[in-house]
Structure formats: C-alpha cells, structure tokens
C-alpha cells in the first residue's frame, strides 16, 4: 500500500553516469497511524456462472457485471492470463456456459480504512452468544468490492480471534456509516435476533449531520424507494419502490457551518440518505447523494425525472485521464511477462501481446458525446463495441425503465468511480501491471 507507483525504475546505481535527466524517486505514501492497512496479498476471486451470465462473452460479462474496475483493466487481465474459465486461460471472446467456474487471481492491494473496530461488550453478552461491536465509517460489514481483509467480519476473526462469527449480522450498516452493531456467534442466536428486529422489538437510533438548517418540527417522509443500479447501489424515490417511512427530529443547528444534526427513526438500505436528499438536506459528506456535479442544481431535492427513455451515450474519458491511462498501458505492455529481448510482448502462444490489446486513444482522439465520428467507407469496419463502451449496460439491472436524468446520474457516478479506483494486475513472475489512470 505504500508505493503509489508499481513500476520499477528504469535506471539503477550500476548503470554509471548518464547525461539524461535523473529519474525522480518513486513517490511513497506515508502511513497514517489513524488508518488500518493490509499488506498486499495473493487472492483468487472465484465464482460459478449465474443464470444471467450464460451464453455471454467473458470480456463483455466481467466488464458489465463488475464495475469496480475499468474496461482497460479487464482487457489487460485477460491478455496477462490471470482470468480463467474452468482452470483454462480465458480469451476475450470465450462464451460462459452453465456450470462454468470463473476465477481471477490477483495480487490484491486493499484500500486502507479509517478508525478501528472495537468490541464493546463483555463476558455477559458473550455468554448469550452475542457481541456488540463499534464499527467505524469506511469499514464494510462483509467482503465486497475492493474489501476483504478490511471488512468487519474478517477483522473480528483476525484481530480478535473470534473464529465462530457468523456472517449473518443482525443489524447491518452501510460501509460509510459508523455505529454499534450486534453480531451473533451462533446461527441460532442470529436467527433469533433477526426475528426480534423484524418484529420491531429492538429500538434503533441514528444521528446524521446534514447540510442546511433542518426544520425544528418533527418531519415525516414516506416516499417509496427503489434500487435502479445494482453495481453502484443507487437508490431513488420511485412509485414502484418499497414502502419506506422515515421520521426526523432536529437536535441542533450550527450556524457557522450551516449544518444540522437530526435523528432519523428507521432505515432500510440508503433510506436515510435518500430521504434526506429528497427533503433537500443531504448528509454533509455523502459521496453519492451530495455530488453536485452529478445531481445538478437541485441536488436531487424533490426526486428525479421518471419519464423513460431508450437513449444511451458512452462514457468519454477526460483528456487528462486519457493521457495518463495511455502512458500507463504502454508501460504495462512492456512489463507484462513474455517481454523478449526484441521488445515484443508474448502471450504464451506466439501471439504478440500488443496485438491482443486495444489501442488506447490519444487525448486529442477522445471525442465528446456531441461530436460525430467521420465515416470512411474504405476503412476496415470497426470492432463491435461492448455495452460498457456504448452505454447500453446502464439500466440492465434496473427493474423499471430509466429516465434520461437517471441514466445521466448513473453514468456520472460510474465515471467518477472509474477515475478514483486503481487498477492493478499481477503477472506470474510477480510483476505488478498498473493500468490505473488517476
């Protein structure tokens, strides 16, 4: 986690004096004592093909279903041989069938998380097959996305020796939400507690700091909520959604920061965050529902447009990002296993790896959505674009047709996520191939 540049320097002390400019030292991130780091490790992500995956090409499937990595990352992973189907190296056009096992072996670099997990219960609670945990913000409850060893369940196992922790947690919290959680140490106890919560026999309280001066009187909102994008976990107010009621009570208002602390009474997934956004008082540091460049001038207040549309537009990489990605991929092509003395990358079967990877457009070749490509009738027909390149993957996981505003919100959030996340492949000899473009 320390190094933010995975590529070794091209110069060495033994190389002797050089007239070229000295290579700058590799930048290193200082470890923050308030963060929990996990040393990089080898990990095999393995899964059986789900029904909706059958008869789809592997590159289209993984780039559409798993949005935590860029399309360039998946192309490079297939070319480097770290993605397999039933133990055999997968090629971009391989078709996934019923019963297939898909595996991706990577040298995993988990992001650090803030704070530290605390077990605040004692022997009395443990005797009742229950522990009470203080979960800090940024720690996910279960392994998901970029997190495995930095998930709450794995931290309880590794740091506290609580091996008999069942993944069925009684009251789950969003990754960015901090607070107390009940975790059962037996399956029977977990089922009992889940039943108590379902029957409203347990009282839960939340606190939220929101932007603006929240009304002093008690505020109730009962707008239904619907998840319209599974990959981003995006929830909006929609008439086809699940019934949801949230009651807010303002506790304080700080004029200097123009923020309020309010107390919601209930909450399902993202319910508090979305209902606060609907009221016009988003949580102050919410990275999804308070992104001004995503939700527009109104910030999602009053909901979004619902009129369906079939129009889709592909994501266009900003010029600076395209330039950085181009440099990273060119470096990756030279570093992947198979680099011979003649400078040709091999894939293991005599095919130059550079021929198997798509050409990365130069910044000046990246067009905006409004520009139309010049058609050359004599040119070779272009390769079929993937759904992620055309925008056709937006809405695939939505239970309802999406409006143009909803599509643009999903597109913006996905682009924002793609720009922030590192994309690293580890080859068989241990070299790190970094295709990130931030």
Pairing between β-strand 179-184 and β-strand 130-135 as defined by DSSP bridges? antiparallel
Say how far apart CA 355 and CA 89 lie, in whole Å.
17
Burial of 424 (0-12, 13-18, 19+ CB in 10 A): buried
Residue 327 CB neighbours (<10 A): 12
- Residue 174 annotated in active site: yes
SS3 183: strand
Q: Which residue in the list 100, 174, 337, 415 is annotated as catalytic?
A: 174
Separation CA 319–CA 237 (nearest Å): 34
Whether 232 and 417 have beta carbons less than 8 Å apart is answered as yes
Residues 6+ apart with CB under 8 A from 108: 40, 41, 42, 43, 148
Which residue, 238, 217, 218, 220, is CA-closest to 229?
238
- CB-based contact 28:3 (threshold 8 Å): yes
Write the CA distances from 366 to 92, 189, 329, 341, 434, integer angstroms. Answer: 24, 56, 16, 33, 22
Q: Which residues of 9-42 are buried (b: 16+ CB within 10 A; e: fewer)?
A: eeeeeeeeeeeeeeeeeeeeeeeeeeebebebee
Q: Which residues pair with 118 in a beta bridge?
A: 134
Dihedrals phi, psi of 407, to nearest 5 degrees: -65, -45
Structure tokens at 138: 């940024």
- Give the residue from 41, 40, 5, 49 showing the smallest Cα distance to 23: 5
Distance CA 205, CA 436 (A): 40
Q: Which residues contact 109 (CB under 8 A, 6 or more apart)?
A: 1, 40, 422, 424
> What distance in Å separates the CA atoms of residue 142 and residue 169, rounded to the nearest whole number?
9
**Whole-number Å distance between alpha carbons of 399 and 262:** 32
- Residues with catalytic function: 174
């Amino acid at each position: 986690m320390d190094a933010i540049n995975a590529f070794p320097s091209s110069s060495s002390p033994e190389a002797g004096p050089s007239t070229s400019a000295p290579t700058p030292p590799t930048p290193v991130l200082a470890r923050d004592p308030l963060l929990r780091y996990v040393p990089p490790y080898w990990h095999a992500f393995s899964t059986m093909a789900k029904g909706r995956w059958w008869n789809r090409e592997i590159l289209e499937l993984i780039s559409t279903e798993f949005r935590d990595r860029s399309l360039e990352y998946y192309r490079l992973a297939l070319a480097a041989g770290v993605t397999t189907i039933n133990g055999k190296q997968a090629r971009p056009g391989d078709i996934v069938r019923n019963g297939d096992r898909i595996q991706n072996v990577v040298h995993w670099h988990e992001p650090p998380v803030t704070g530290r997990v605390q077990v605040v219960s004692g022997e009395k609670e443990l005797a009742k097959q229950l522990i009470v945990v203080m979960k800090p913000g940024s720690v996910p409850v279960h392994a998901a996305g970029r997190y495995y060893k930095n998930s709450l369940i794995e931290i309880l196992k590794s740091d506290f020796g609580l091996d008999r922790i069942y993944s069925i947690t009684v009251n789950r919290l969003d990754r960015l939400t901090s607070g107390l959680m009940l975790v059962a140490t037996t399956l029977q106890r977990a089922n009992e507690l889940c039943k108590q919560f379902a029957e409203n026999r347990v009282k839960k309280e939340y606190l939220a700091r929101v932007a603006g001066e929240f009304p002093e009187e008690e505020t109730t909102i009962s707008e239904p909520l619907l998840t319209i994008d599974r990959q981003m976990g995006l929830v909006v107010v929609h008439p086809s959604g699940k019934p949801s009621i949230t009651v807010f009570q303002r506790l304080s208002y700080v004029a200097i920061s123009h923020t309020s602390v309010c107390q919601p009474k209930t909450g399902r997934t993202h319910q508090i965050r979305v209902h606060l956004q609907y009221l016009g008082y988003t949580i102050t540091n919410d990275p999804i529902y308070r992104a001004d460049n995503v939700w527009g001038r109104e910030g999602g207040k009053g909901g979004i447009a619902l009129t369906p549309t079939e129009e889709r537009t592909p994501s266009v990489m900003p010029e600076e990002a395209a330039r950085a990605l181009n440099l990273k991929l060119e470096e990756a092509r030279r570093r992947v296993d198979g680099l011979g003395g003649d400078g040709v990358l091999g894939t293991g079967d005599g095919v130059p790896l550079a021929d198997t990877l798509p050409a990365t457009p130069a910044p000046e070749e990246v067009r905006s959505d409004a520009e139309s490509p010049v058609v050359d009738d004599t040119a070779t027909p272009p390769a079929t674009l993937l759904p992620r390149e055309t925008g056709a993957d937006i809405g695939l996981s939505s239970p309802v047709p999406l409006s143009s505003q909803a599509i643009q919100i999903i597109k913006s959030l996905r682009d924002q996520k793609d720009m922030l996340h590192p994309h690293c492949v580890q080859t068989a000899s241990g070299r790190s191939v970094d295709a990130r473009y931030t």
